[in-house]
Structure 1
Amino acid sequence: MMATMSQTWTIFTAVIVMAVQCCRGEKCCHIWSSAGPVVQQGSNFTVNCNFTCKCKGSMRSGHPPRPQTHTEINPALIYLNVTNITKKRTFSCECNCPTSLNPCGLDISTGYLPEPPKNISCTYKVKDNEREVVLCTWDRGRDTFLTNKVVLWLRTVSRNHTDGLVLNSKETALESASIPVSSSVQLISVWVLARNELGSAVSITMNYTLRDIAMPSTPVLGQPDCSSRECIIKVQHSVRTQHLEIQYRAEAQTWASSPDSVVQMSSVKVPSLEPYTLHHFRARTKFSTGLWSKWSTNISSWTQEEAPAKELDVWYAEPASDFKSLRVYWKELNISTAKGKIIVYQVRVYSPNSGPVSITNVSADTRNCSVPFCANCEVTVWACNSKGSSPPAKITIHHTKVKVKQFQSPEDMHVTVDRVTISWRKHDTAPRHAVYVVEWYPEGHKLEELRWVKLGRNDNHTVVTGIKPFECYEGAVYVLSNESLLRRTTFTGVTSLESAPVAGPSVQHKVEGNQVKVTWTEIPRGQRRGCLTNYIIYLENDSGHKKPYIVPASQRMHIIKGLSSVFYNLWITASTAQGEGPEGQKVKFLIQNETPLSPLIMCAVAATILMFLVCLCHSLEVKQRFWVYFQCLMLDVVPDPANSKWAREYTQEKGKISLQLSNSSVTAEEDEPILVDVEELPKQSIDICANVSSQLPRQTSLSPETEPAALLYPLTTYIKSFSHDSDNSDQPQTSLDTNTTGDYLSSHGPGDMDEEDQEFVDMLGFFPSHNFFMEHPEFGGKLTLNAVKIDCSDLFQNSEC
């Protein structure tokens, strides 16, 4: 009875305690692992939960927690089997207790046992006379995924071979550690112990002699003092060493040691450097035995300049059609040949006949220069820096009309995506010093993007790089000897990638009668997509009939003739070897044939003018005036009255007349000779109207048997004299010989003229309408030429024609 009461009291006490715990917010369970909180990866174990109250318990795992299938031993104890764990996991247990209790949880970590450290390496670092340490490094092996602790153990042996102290370094997770040692130590033994929650591992023991692993501290370099070929560098050491190594390199080059470095006290001289080059330097030291120190921090410095050592690579573009200027090109020198910063280029044109033609200074960022064209002149280019100029680069300018054999393309050409291989047949007769020059440039852009390469006589090909895709290139291969041009081979249509054009050209047109003149502009460079082969002009009439006209790619104009009077549509496309591009701009125009109205009007006007002229020709006065004008134009066909039929008959009827060109008196039927005065008039613009500019001889004797040796007056002079008739005689006082064309003498007035003579005078139209014949002059007394002087201005008065 007493025992039963005791058990009842115990249960009651337990219930009270559990109730109190629940009221305090305690956990409702206890959780643990059969393998502990840290397990090896891939292991198997169980997770157990013991509940503190009667409830329906459950187990969860993961993030977020998911229910797990567990095994129940009794209502207060459950467990979960975990197999092949590979990563850290979290487990929790919970139940529905009558009172609110917190669930319990457990974190399980997984990893590996540490591996024995390996590849142990120790260095005896001598920093100064008071600080000496042994620095050891090792390889800890694979990652354990756990927190590792490493202990470096060091056992020292002094000069008297007594055992030293075993030193324990700090635990560290690193792969290196250092331990101070005394300068009396000669030998050391080293091993490394690694451990984590799963266990520990120890390395093998390494034995060292300190003098074999002694390493001096890293040297410190001062700023170099450089000339063009060498630099002097100051070196600072913390301890005295026996060896020093200096290395240098230019930008983007590998390090090179200076075997001929000279150590002087605390400085070192580094020779054999390149002028005007940025050099980097570093140094390291070593005792007589032991290890080299670490490399010092890099320092840099420029060497000084020298005059350029090599001439420029020079070429030129052929002169323009006006031959007034040409463009000279050169390539930039690299740093090793420029030996300094180029500050200016100098270009000189020299004529072998007249000396220097021009000298031009060009800025350093320019690679070409326009100079006056001078056939067979020598162009020289220098590159100048602060220390001097380069050797002269010379090239002779040849006239484009020099006889060179032209080829359409080189003998062989191989094209790839980004490069072109150009081959040619060697010039067998070229001298030994002959060179080849290969030039290339985008089509139509020679002056802007000319590139070239010079090759030796034995070369027969070159690889042209930098070819842009969808770009058309052209160029030439030159053979030069002593700057004389021996041969030139041109090539065109070079491209790496090509497709049909993506645009058509813009069109302009001009209608001229039944034809149209079509002009167009080039397609933009980026839209050609290769080398153009031709243009196609499409002409479509209003009925829809379309006719193509194929034009070579080198033309920009075409005339289409013989078009009908209709409306037309016109457009142009461009083509490459890969196909035809899209249509360009369309234009519309009308062909309108000429009407026959204009020729009819012209014919009517011409007929009216002709009829008017015919009517004028029927007028006698118009005929006479026209004949006068005609005579003024025909100076050498003036009729000679002295040789007329009337003059001959008159001479035969009147008797003999004797005319002597001498100072003797005149023998005639009259007692005294007749004196004739001649007045000289100004010469007019029309020669037939000119008067005699000389006068007759005072005494003249005429004889029918005697002929003068020469004509007394020019043929273009016409003189007519009148003398009065004697009351007792009908014979004339003086007359001319029939061979004398300069004078016409008559004693007859107009009333004495027969009908034939009157017709002769009328035909000449010699006298104006108001001349002295119409005024009936009196004939009497001595007559001089002044009385019969003719003024030609009267011929044109009162003229209406």
Structure 2
Amino acid sequence: MMEKMLLWALFLLFGNFCLADLPKKPKNISCVFYLQKNFTCTWRPEKEVYPTVYNVTRIYVSGRKIDYCTSQNRTSCSFCYPNLTYPDNYSIQVEAKNAFGQSKSEVTYWSLQNIVKAEPPEIQTVKPIPGVKHMLQVEWKKPERLPSFGLCECRLKYRLVNSTKWEPVSQRMTYEMPYNLTGLLALRQYAVSMQCRMVSSEFWSIWSEERIGTTEGLAPNSSLDFWRVLGPAQPDGKRIVQVLCKEPRADPRIRKAIEYEIRYFPESENSSKETIITADRQSELHLGSGAYLVSVLYFTSDGASPEATLRIPAVHEKPLQCIEGMQLHHFQDRLMLKWNSSAAEVDRWVIEWYPDEENKTLERSWEYISQTRTWTGRADNFKPFQCYNISVYPVEGMEVGAPHSVQAYFTEGIPEEGPRAKAQNISSHSATIKWEEISKAQRKGFIRNYTVFYKSEGGKEFAQIVNSSVLQCQLESLERNTQYTVTVMANTLAGGKNGTNFNFKTLSFSILEMVLFISFTGAGLLFLAILLMVCSLTKAKLKRLVCPEIPNPAKSNVVLWHGGSLQSKMHLGEVQFQGKTKAIDERIPKPFLSSSGDLIDKLVVDFENFLDKTEVQRVELMKMPENVSSGEEKYVDTPYSRCNPSGEVFQAPSSALISLGGTQEQSSGRPEEEVKDRLFQSPSSSEALELEQEEARLNPYLKNSVTTREFLTSEKFSDPIKKTELQP
């Protein structure tokens, strides 16, 4: 009994183990007929624990043919073309087999017309119809190798390119006719896909490859923004005007501009229009000195835009001025500009900005704003460390007014290099430091001021701050003959940059001191030279004034003529005149002669004066012919006449007067030549004595003088020469 029970337990144990290793029965069999390709069936379970071989048995042609399809470890199997018959009915059974056994599925039946699956259709074009907005036309083609019998139908779906949501089309298409997608947005891209199936089949083909089409855009409905830049006028009045066009305003319904058309003509001559068609947004116009009207429009594939017009003023025309003030404020990432206007009717403005460089081909940026007097510049509009010229233009209709401009840095930095300086006008206590202005490209900001550092050798450093508009500095209170080191620093809002150090040395003497020293020295030398020259020219005169030359009496002509006889008669009371001895009146003042030497000196000097005075008196007597011819005796006053206070003339005694009668008689018969010769003959002793006495009264070396000399004239005395000869 016990043995039977043990055998039964072993049988159950090993029997369950063997059943667990058998392949699972294939279930959920599904078959699809891919037209002109294959007949494929799939089932479950999809995966076995042990290696399994699947055998699919197909019974077709109304049960007259059987074939098999084997698959290793795969839960699908296909019967390939051309061993396919359509239309037909297939019976399918799947058998699974492994090392532990086998299992078979139920038999399934399939009608190929119901499970046929065709290829997707081909979309040929997706494009808009010209002139029709918001629509795309889809042209397509049915799948290839469709059976000649049966009806095929297709369907379509579309979506915006940037969207993932598909929009299906409910209408089915059975014929290869273009399909129009309507209700689309203008100037948008759409993706289109299609699929088809046999009407009797339950399977649709896969979706076809997507084709993209763009709906037709709208014609531009607004004018183009453009700007003009006026060039300088030439001597003949001609000028170059740049026309700058902006991209049309962003509108998803409007296409981009293809080309631009510029029309311009003189304001006074509307008939003479000129046109320029270009694809560039920048053009140059060569205009005259008068006013012009310039119009710009642009074209897209959908049409032309309206015209935009600006008036170009004449060369000498004054534009509108209404901007009164402007304020500039910096923020972290933007720049704000505010201004005031005196014209309330102006509500449209143009903001223009461009780098402050000497490049004529600078690209200008500009922007139209309206109904505001505030403009904010963004960081992407400016470059850091670059100086910009910012201008605001008022625009009223076609008229453009006068701008108001400022300069600004969006971001300031430290200059790339410092100023290059040098010393000039160096003196003993001062010097002038001059430096060059930093170029605009290297400033990186507005120069607020300059700082001049200077230091002597071993001394304390000093600094002077100079305004940015001044490029020199005067250093004062420097030490003489001392070397200084100088550095000039340029300062911006972000910081300063030092220039190259250089040295200079003050002078021992200032230029003024040297000039004064040289001037005084030169003046002294010049005065000394003039003094020496004057002394050399007036030496003889000075010598005669200071040390007069006294003649040597021993060598005089009087001594030589008379020898020793002259000295023996000097103190006698008479003198011989014309062979007769005449007594000399004792009342006549006689000069005191200390010695014979003094007398000789007196005679030498007075004889020379006598000759000169005789000639002068001769000339004076020749001027008195009327007095002499009257026959009356007159006294003639001479410079030597003496007068008393009552006006009477003191006369010498009669003994001292020399009668002119004898003289007249003796000389009347002589020729004039003899009279003249007598003036130059050697005088006799008596004549010499009389001359000596007379000249003694006139000689300045003697202290006595004769103030009055009397001449007795008669009507018989007519020869002035004789009178001169007979004058004592």
Q: Which has the larger radius of gyration?
A: 2
TM category (shorter chain) comes to 0.3 to 0.5
TM-score by length of 1: 0.42
TM-score by length of 2: 0.45
- Structure having the higher helix fraction is 2
